[in-house]
Amino acid sequence: MTANRIVLSSDPSGIQLRQAIAGHIAEQGWVVVDIGPTTPESTHYPKHGEAAARLVASGDCRFGIVLCGTGQGIMMAANKVKGIRCGVCGDTFSARMIRQHNDANMLSIGMRAVGEGLALDIVDAFLTARFEGGRHATRVEMIEALEG
């Protein structure tokens, strides 16, 4: 039952915001797979981005949401996993558009760049948007072809 499962991960600086997002989406009926970390000790964000991306790429989770200071590094790591289309969003328009036009399956948020209220709005925009297909499907296929 992957249709309603979302994996969440972050570097240690994103724990509090990740937990707020987890509670928010759980209230909407999503099954949250929070893969940590759970303690503030320093870890490496590429490991967290990769682990979340692998759960999405395998089909175990429909979507993934990852966080680090800027959202950029963890997004870069996630995008190295075949089948992942992850974008950093700091606004609701971008979050909606990466779903509608790019069929993104992961969202990255810079926890030092946005506050909790905006982050929850970004997550809502991402999760409620639908891929439009059509000419965008051709472009997504072109992106997938770059993976080899």
Which residues are designated catalytic?
68, 101
Site of tokens 């590094």: 73
Between CA 32 and CA 66 the distance in angstroms is 13
Cβ contact 66:84 at 8 Å: no
Burial of residue 13, with CB atoms counted within 10 A of its CB: 0-12 exposed, 13-18 middle, 19 or more buried: middle
| CA distances for 33 relative to 4, 18, 36, 91, angstroms | 10, 11, 9, 24
Burial of residue 49, with CB atoms counted within 10 A of its CB: 0-12 exposed, 13-18 middle, 19 or more buried: buried
